[in-house]
Amino acid sequence: MVTGGAGFIGYHLCRRHLLNGDEVVCVDNLSSGRRENVEELKQFPGFSFIEADVIDLPKVPVDRIYNLACPASPPYYQKDPIHTAMTCVLGAKNVLDLADECGAVVLQASTSEVYGEPLIHPQMESYRGNVNPHGIRSCYDEGKRMAETLFFDYNRMHGTKIKVVRIFNTYGPYMDRNDGRVVSNFINQAIRDLPITLYGDGGQTRSFCYVSDTVEAIVRMMESEEDFLGPVNIGNPAEITVRRLAEMVKERTGSASELCFCELPQDDPTRRRPDITLAKEKLDWAPAVPIEKGLDETVAYFQRIRE
């Protein structure tokens, strides 16, 4: 089962398992997931789709559960922050209860946002974060932190078989063009020769991981040794500024777009880079796709769907 399976990473994760010949149940309420992704996955005989909210999770017998259900971009998760928080917390409880009933392994897709505005750099899993508990991003940041708490408490109290990954910025084909994330924003603005919107001076940094690398790490974590629970950082330690990303997108699209600088949003992290020492050691994983190649693939996808 992949909750949030109609979303960006969820689609790629479903497809990965379907190509392996696995049976996959995708659960998604399509609030930010895309019906087009579901239609593409229906070509596989092992795929089934349930349109439902993880807050009201259907009981389906499964042996692996990936919990990706939650809007992951600020415009989506800030649209209904109460529902976002409940998706994180009640959704986590529901997948944990289902895992207990089925004897399944359940993986929580947590996020680099649990680190907030980090006071150490790069961020390692032992760092407890610097998160605003009542800001406009708190529904997501604190919701994901609480989900992690539930996962480890279920493991301690019930012996639930859990895995927790913390996903850093992921990009690639099948991103929603309107999700408000920086890569999709920049590419869509550039291919239309619209001003490319940067916040602050564009000097804030991010570390972008191509989606195939992220999915590979998630699958390896699911199949890792039983006593390795996580959390484990999944991301690309190659750090670049947002302004440099905009310039790279312009280069690849031949765009005439100008860079437009706007006020920095509240609680927007100024630096973000994962320490992936643990992923290398426990999962034998490191990202393989350089950002130049990943951007080429992503730009080609957005140009194709525009035509």
> Cis before residue 61, ω within 30 degrees of 0?
no
Whole-number Å distance between alpha carbons of 279 and 301: 29
Alpha helical stretches, state H, the chain: 8-19, 35-41, 74-77, 81-102, 138-158, 182-191, 211-222, 242-253, 277-283, 291-306
Is 140 considered catalytic here? yes
| Spatial contact of 153 and 170, defined as CB atoms under 8 Å apart | no
Q: How far is residue 171 from each of residues 20, 153, 184, 295, measured CA to CA in Å?
A: 23, 32, 8, 8
Question: What single string gives the DSSP state of each residue in 61-119?
Answer: --SEEEE--S--SHHHHTTSHHHHHHHHHHHHHHHHHHHHHHT-EEEEEEEGGGGBS-S
Q: How far is residue 215 from each of residues 109, 144, 211, 285, 292, measured CA to CA in Å?
A: 11, 19, 6, 11, 19
Select which of 140, 171, 174, 210 is catalytic: 140
Half-sphere exposure of residue 142: CA atoms within 13 angstroms, side-chain side: 15
Contacts 24+ apart (CB under 8 A), 247-251: 248/291, 248/292, 248/295, 249/183, 249/186, 249/187, 249/190, 249/196, 249/295, 249/299, 250/190, 250/196
In one-letter notation, the amino acid at residue 183 is V
| Residues acting as catalytic residues | 140
